Amino acid sequence: MSWSAFLDTQSLLPTADTPWLAPVEHLTVVRARGEEADHYLQGQLSCDLRAVDQGAHLTGMHLSLKGRGLVSVRVVRDGDDYLMLTPDGMGEALIKSLMKYRLRAKVEFEQLEDLAVIMLGGELAPDLPAPGQSLRTPEGLWLRYPHTDHALLLVEAGEAENRWQTLSEGRNAVTPNGPVLADIEAGEGMVYPGAEDLFLPQVLNYDVTGGVNFKKGCYTGQEVVARMHFKGKLKQRMQRVDFTADLALQPGEVLRDGNGKAAGEVVISANTRNGGAALVVLRRDTDGVLYKDDTPLDSQLNELPYPLPWKD
């Protein structure tokens, strides 16, 4: 039975108290391999691969020359290769974006169709990696979130059913909505389809989560990003919003304040028991009371698991 066919046989809850596990369907995986993969990616992504080489996993962006994110990744070392988790539907865009500057560099990219991703929430085993770190075990490749009690497991699709059945003991089984909500709780935003070329890395708080490094040297779009960091004043950042209105929010969608003025753009949203939650890039002066067109979200700001370093 295929991994997708197996999941069709499972009774999955939309949300659940911890501990839980869920299939991750909002991300896909691209492998980078080749003797110059490390050097090449270091010059293309906003994060510092030297930390990844030491066992960390980091979010990062591949930027346009304007410094805006064309595509996001969560990058981790896997032996001599690198795996990049990127939003579903953007695997080919990621490869195309990175290939644009490859020239003669000895690096190849491949979207992996035979790799399953599972997320665990709550009561993580003590032998898993430390927060923000990765670890390969006989079960697969683990990536533990830095700020919340969540972990990803990357496993060959042929082994995913066995891993699921083992890990599901004592855990609620949750739909793919669960991992999206977990990313919102963790404040882990990415560039999803519909929001390309909108956000500086700092706008998605990558300067807080290690997704941009200001000492690593040059990479595509670096000058604009560095200029904002050292000389500019960031007027908007990604924040969490909870809402009770029965509305669907799409990445890149503009939300407005009570005066009809644009207040920010949606990064990603998920369902909750009381309505929905979203990561939204908001102006600093926004109070969290937002509207989609003329419809109120009945929304309020909620906390992220890390502080936002607003500059005065």
pLDDT averaged over every residue in the chain: 95
Q: Which residues of 139-171 are buried (b: 16+ CB within 10 A; e: fewer)?
A: bbbbbbbbbbbbbbbbbebeebbebbeebbeeb
Residue 235 clears pLDDT 70, i.e. is over it: yes
Residue 77 in tokens: 């070392």
Q: Cα–Cα distances in Å, from 89 out to 8, 107, 191, 192, 233? A: 21, 22, 11, 9, 33
**55, 99: one domain:** yes
Q: What is the DSSP letter of 99?
A: H
**162, 247: one domain:** no
| Residues 289-303, mean pLDDT to the nearest whole number | 96
For residue 310, being part of any structural domain is answered with no
For residue 311, being part of any structural domain is answered with no
Range of the domain at 244: 201-302
Q: What pLDDT does residue 311 have?
A: 54
* Gap between the terminal Cα atoms of the chain: 57
Q: Which of 186, 217, 232 is the last residue of a domain?
A: 186
**169, 211: one domain:** no
What string of DSSP letters covers 298-310? -EEEE--SS----
Residue 165 clears pLDDT 50, i.e. is over it: yes
Q: Nearest CA to 181 among 154, 142, 150?
A: 150
Residue 29 clears pLDDT 80, i.e. is over it: yes
| Residues 1-12, mean pLDDT to the nearest whole number | 92
| Residues 53-58, mean pLDDT to the nearest whole number | 98
**What is the number of alpha carbons within 13 Å of residue 59 lying toward its C-beta?**
25
Q: What pLDDT does residue 237 have?
A: 96
For residue 192, being part of any structural domain is answered with no
Residue 147 clears pLDDT 60, i.e. is over it: yes
Choice between 275 and 231, residue whose per-residue pLDDT is larger:
275
Query: Residues 249-268: pLDDT tens digits?
Result: 999 999 999 999 999 999 99
Q: What pLDDT does residue 125 have?
A: 93
Give the total number of structural domains in the chain. 2
Q: How confident is the model at residue 231 (pLDDT cuts 50, 70, 90)?
A: confident
Query: Residues 64-121: pLDDT tens digits?
Result: 999 999 999 999 999 999 999 999 999 999 999 999 989 889 999 999 999 999 999 9
Q: Nearest CA to 61 among 25, 100, 97?
A: 97
**156, 214: one domain:** no
Residue 114 in tokens: 């035979």
CATH for 61: 3.30.1360.120
* Number of other residues whose CB lies within 10 A of the CB of residue 187: 23
Environment class of 60 (CB within 10 Å of its CB; exposed 0-12, middle 13-18, buried 19+):
buried
Kind of pairing between the strands at 20-23 and 172-173: parallel
Q: What pLDDT does residue 309 have?
A: 86
Please give the Cα distance from 71 to 64 (Å, whole number): 9
For residue 51, being part of any structural domain is answered with yes
**179, 77: one domain:** yes
pLDDT > 90: what percent of the chain?
Answer: 91
Cβ atoms 169, 133 nearer than 8 A: no
Residue 312 clears pLDDT 50, i.e. is over it: no
Q: Which of 186, 221, 254 is the last residue of a domain?
A: 186
